[in-house]
A = this chain, B = another copy of it.
Amino acid sequence: MLKVGVIGATGYTGEELVKILASHKGIQVTSLTAKIDKAEKIQSIFPSLEGKIDMMCELPDEDMVAKASDFVFLALPHKISMEAAPRLLKAKKKVVDLSADYRLPADIYTKWYGAAHKDVDGLKHAVYGLPELNREKIKTASLIANPGCYPTSIILGLAPLFKEKIADPSLVIADSKSGVTGAGRRADMALSFGEVNESLKAYKINEHQHSPEISQELSKLAGSEVGLVFVPHLIPMNRGILSTIYIKLKRGIDTKEAVGLYKNFYKSEPFVKVLAEGQLPQIKDVRTTNFCYIGIKVDTEKGLAIIVSAIDNLTKGAAGQAVQNMNIMCGFKETEGLL
């Protein structure tokens, strides 16, 4: 049994992570910590975990976690993860970091997150944990930068077109709609029910901190710089991201060919489902699952592909994908704990 610890267990992502880990047959959760007032049973903090796990959530104590665990998930805010990771890696633990701290080069990180990077060495070894694209590297990695929720939905939605050099990289428009848990579990009037319910808004156009991560990964796929326009929206629902993506095609394919291309590209993927021509995904298809559902429509007249990609932001967009990475790193069945 692999001994697993979670640092930062009391956010929405932490809750989801503990729920998934509790049902995983190859591991044992051996430590949970969080910035809380006093140590408390995790199932008292999240009563929905009752019967699934019976364990204390302790105050932050990396040494304790390192001693108790062989594998550690960091469900921490950015800036904090890069302080915790180096010591765990030094102690030969494998680490999946769910924050943004290991996703970008130091200079770009500083530009978007407003802080100098404190673990440039770690950055060199970190692998971007999108299994559908980086599975081989993940297998041997000791530090995974688990992708952001928006990036996961957008990159999976575009990968086949860029890999096959069909998409024109000069302009990608990603219009994403996210549920509220994507913003974290915290007191904030802008996230209060009275402000969010019966409303809807676009925010941070081209200024969202996930933008450089999306650009970077798409550019790698395209082999050249991608021109990204990213517009996130806040939706009155708890969970889910639906990204509607618009991109010009360099050569004339129709919807049928595009669907075939996607089906082929993802044919061995356990968690990506490409819908048949004429079908489009909805959030309820993927809610609480680790799946990404993709629907495609090509406007042949305008040479434009419209891709609709749906995930659960807390599962495939965070905790589920983190466990998928652990499964790959540790030789478990990739779907273990996730179906």
A302 interface residue, CB < 8 Å from B? yes
Q: How far is the CA of A288 from the CA of B48 in the complex (A)?
A: 8
Q: B201–A281 contact, CB under 8 A? A: yes
Residues of A within 8 A of B (CB): 12, 23, 47-48, 50-52, 170-171, 173, 175, 177, 180-181, 185-189, 191-203, 205-206, 227, 229, 231, 233, 235-240, 242, 244, 246, 270-271, 273, 280-289, 291, 293, 295, 297, 299, 301-302, 304, 306, 308, 335, 339
Give complex CA distance A55, B273 in Å: 17
A244 to B48 Cα, complex, angstroms: 20
Q: Using known A-B contacts A47-B285, A229-B299, A335-B51, determine if residue A280 contacts B201 with beta carbons closer than 8 Å.
A: yes
Residue numbers in B under 8 Å from A52 (CB-CB): 339
Contact of A282 among B189, B191, B199, B285 (CB under 8 A): B199
Q: Which residue of B lies closest to A242 (CB)?
A: B200
Bound Cα distance from A282 to B190, whole angstroms: 12
Q: Which residues of B contact A237 (CB under 8 A)?
A: 197-200, 236
Residues from chain B with a CB closer than 8 A to the CB of A12 are: 194
State the Cβ distance, A259 to closest chain B Cβ, in Å: 14
Q: How far is the CA of A295 from the CA of B237 in the complex (A)?
A: 24
Chain B residue nearest in CB terms to A46 = B285
Q: Which residue of chain B has its CB nearest to the CB of A171?
A: B302
Given contact pairs A199-B283, A283-B200, A302-B171, A189 touches B193 in the complex (Cβ within 8 A): no
Supposing A198-B238, A233-B177, A235-B235 touch, asked if A50 and B273 sit within 8 A by C-beta, the answer is yes
Point out the residues of chain B lying under 8 angstroms from A170, CB to CB. Answer: 302
A206 touches B48 (CB 8 A): no
Report whether A244 and B231 are in contact in the complex, using a CB–CB cutoff of 8 Å.
yes
